[in-house]
Amino acid sequence: MLQGKKILLGVSGSIAAYKAAILVRLLVKEGAQVKVLMTPAACDFITPLTLSTLSKNDVGVTISENGSWSNHVMLGRWADVMLIAPASVNTIAKMANGICDNLLLAVYLSATCPVLFAPAMDEDMWLHPATKANVARLLSYGHRQLPVHKGELASGLFGEGRMAEPEAIVSYLYSFFSAGNQTKPLAGKKALVSAGPTQEPIDPVRFISNHSSGKMGIALAEALAEAGAAVELVLGPTHLSTLHTGVRISRVVTAADMFDRCSELAPSADIIVMAAAVADYRPRNVADKKIKKKDEEMSLELEKTTDIARSLGAQKKNGQVLVGFSLETNNEKEYALKKLQDKNLDMVVLNSLNDAGAGFNHDTNKVTLLSRNGHEQALPLQSKQEVARNIVLAIIDLQHA
C-alpha cells in the first residue's frame, strides 16, 4: 500500500525525534519515497546525517539550502502526504497560527497534500487549554491528528503525551492510503480478533499472567482491516495499541472479561481469530487485601478458566471462519492438530517456542498454518506484519473454499 508513495516527514524539537529514525526505516522498507525536514531544534535530538542516510535523500533544515529560496514550494507540491512526527507543542502552535520561521513551517504552509501530525509532549502541555485550542484549529483546517499514547514521559511522569509508536504510524498510513479502495477482498465483512495476555488477580497488587505482548494479534487486526474488514479487537493488558481506522478496540483484563466481550461480538462476526494468550487457570479465591509475606511457603488453589476458542467453536455458525493459535514447546504439530479438531477450528496457527525469533515479544514470527481441509503451509521467519498478511490470505482462501 505504501509502495511508491511520496511521504514528507517533518521532525520537530522533541525527545521523541529519535523515533523518526525508526519511522523512516520502516517507511523505506515498505517502498515509500521519504524526504525529511527538520526544525533547527530537532537537530539537537537527532542528526540530519542519520535521517539522510536512512531516507537516502538530503534532509532539509534551512530555507536557503542548495542556493534555492523556493525549495519549500517544490517540496510542498512533491508529497502525497506531509506527516509531522514528532509534532512538538511549539510547532503545533506555530502551525495553528500560520507562523513561518523555519523550513518545516514554510513547507507546511505551501503543502498542497493532506497533512497528518503526531503530537509529542509532556502531559501538562498536552492538556493545556492553549494546546487544545491549537489542535482544534489544525483539525478545522482538515488536518488529521494521530492519537497520543499514555505512558512514561521524558519528565519521568506517567501520563498522556507520548508520540504514537512508528509501527502504529505506518499502520495509520496504510489505512489512510487505502481509504476509498472498494476492491478489497474482505470489504463488507466483520472480523473479531483477540490479542494480548490476560491478568488473573491473586490480591489487589498481584496477578498471574504471561509474556504475551499482543504484537501478533494487533498485526492480524490491522491486516484484516487492510483487506477491508471492519475489525473488533479485544485486547488484554498491554501498552501496545493500533491507530488503524478500521479497528475498534475493547480493552479487557481477565480471561472472564475477554470471554464475555468475545461472546458478545462473535455472533455478528464473519471471521474470528483467537490470537490472545488467555490464562488457562486463575486463583479460586482472590484476597481483598494484599497478602502479607509471613510463611516460608504459600499455596494457591487454581481453577480452570473458560476456553474461549472452544466455546466459540461450539457455537460457530455456517459461513463463519474460526482461527486459533497453538503455542507449543514439544510435540507441536500433534497438539496443534488436536486443537484444530477439539475446538472446531477452521485453521490453527502453530507457533513453536523452539524457533529462534518466534513467540512472545519478538517483532518476528515463524508459524505453520494447519487447515481443516488438510492444507499445511509453513511460513519462514518474517516480521509479524508479514505473517499477519499471509494468515489473512489463508483466511480469504478458506472463505472461498
Least confidently predicted of 28-42, 146-160, 185-199: 146-160
Whether 27 and 138 map to the same domain: the answer is yes
Cα(265)–Cα(249) distance, integer angstroms: 12
Q: Within this chain, do residues 150 and 212 fall inside the same structural domain, yes or no?
A: no
What does 239-252 look like in DSSP terms, one character per residue?
S-----TTEEEEE-
254 with 167, same domain: the answer is no
Separation of alpha carbons 401 and 389, rounded Å: 19
Provide the domain count of the chain: 2
Residues in binding site for CTP: 280, 290, 325, 339, 343
Could you report the per-residue pLDDT of 293-314, keeping only the tens digit for each? 888 888 999 999 999 999 999 9
Domain-located, residue 116 = yes
- Confirm if 303 and 281 have CB atoms less than 8 A apart: yes
End-of-domain residue from the set 126, 160, 176: 176
Told to judge if 285 belongs to the known catalytic residues of this protein, a careful annotator would answer no
Q: What pLDDT digit, counting tens, does each position of 2-12 carry?
A: 889 999 999 99
Q: Are residues 336 and 316 in the same domain?
A: yes
Domain stop point among 133, 158, 176: 176
Could you tell me the strand order of the sheet in which 376-378 lies?
247-251, 230-235, 190-195, 271-274, 321-328, 347-352, 367-371, 376-378
Structure confidence by residue, pLDDT tens digits, 162-188 = 898 898 888 888 878 876 555 688 989
- Please tell me the predicted confidence (pLDDT) of residue 65: 58
Does the residue 157 lie in any domain?
Answer: yes
* Residues 188 and 110 grouped into a single domain: no
Determine the pLDDT at residue 109.
94
Domain annotation covers residue 1: no
Clarify whether residues 29 and 156 are in a common domain: yes
In a shared domain, residues 100 and 142: yes
On whether the pTM is more than 0.85, the answer is no
Residues 125 and 216 in one domain: no
Determine the Cα–Cα distance for residues 10 and 25; give it in Å rounded to an integer: 15
User: In the structure, what pLDDT confidence band is assigned to residue 155 with cuts at 50, 70 and 90?
Assistant: confident
Q: Are 398 and 346 in contact (CB under 8 A)?
A: yes
- 94 with 194, same domain? no
Q: What is the pLDDT of residue 34?
A: 96
* Domain carrying residue 316: 184-288+298-400
In whole angstroms, give the CA distance from residue 169 to residue 151: 17
The sign of the torsion formed by the CA atoms of 304, 275, 311, 314 equals negative
Do residues 267 and 234 both lie within one domain?
yes
The average pLDDT across 367-389 equals 87
User: Smallest Cα–Cα separation from 389: which of 146, 184, 238, 177?
Assistant: 184
Q: Band the pLDDT of 121: cuts 50, 70, 90.
A: very high
84 pLDDT band (50/70/90 cuts)? Answer: very high
Q: Does the residue 343 lie in any domain? A: yes
Burial class (CB in 10 A: 0-12, 13-18, 19+), 298: exposed
pLDDT for res 101: 92
Integer CA distances (angstroms), 60 to 131, 369, 386, in order: 27, 46, 32
pLDDT tens per residue, range 85-118: 999 999 999 999 999 999 999 999 999 899 999 9
DSSP states of 119-134: E---HHHHHSHHHHHH
CATH number, domain with residue 45? 3.40.50.1950
Q: At what angle do helices 103-110 and 89-97 cross, to 10 degrees?
A: 40
pLDDT in tens, 223-277: 999 888 999 999 999 999 988 888 999 999 999 999 999 999 999 999 999 999 9
Can you give the pLDDT at residue 64?
66
Boundary residue ending a domain (153, 176, 199)? 176
**What pLDDT was estimated at residue 361?**
67
Tell whether 293 is covered by a domain: no
Give DSSP secondary structure letters for 160-227: EEEPPPHHHHHHHHHHHHHTT-TT-TTTT-EEEEEESB--EESSSS-EE-----SHHHHHHHHHHHHT
At residue 31, φ and ψ (nearest 5 deg) are 95, 5
Q: With bands split at pLDDT 50, 70 and 90, how would you rate the model's confidence at 142?
A: confident
Q: Are 312 and 336 in contact (CB under 8 A)?
A: no
Same domain as 315, residue 190: yes
CATH for 344: 3.40.50.10300
86 with 200, same domain: the answer is no
Q: Which of 57, 90, 210, 390 is catalytic?
A: 210
Alpha-carbon distances, residue 228 vs 81, 191, 311, 392 (angstroms): 22, 10, 27, 11
Q: How far apart, in Å, are the Cα atoms of 257 and each of 66, 219, 305?
A: 59, 22, 11
Distance, CA of 224 to CA of 235 (rounded, Å) = 15
Task: Answer yes or no: are the C-beta atoms of 174 and 218 closer than 8 Å.
Answer: no
pLDDT, mean of residues 350-378: 83
Neighbours of 308 (CB within 10 A): 26
Q: Compute the radius of gyration of the chain from its Cα atoms.
A: 24
Q: Is 77 domain-assigned?
A: yes
Local confidence band at 154 (pLDDT 50, 70, 90 cut-offs): confident
Among 70-79, 281-290, 345-354, 392-401, name the one with the lowest average pLDDT.
70-79
Q: How far apart are CA 84 and CA 119, in angstroms?
A: 8
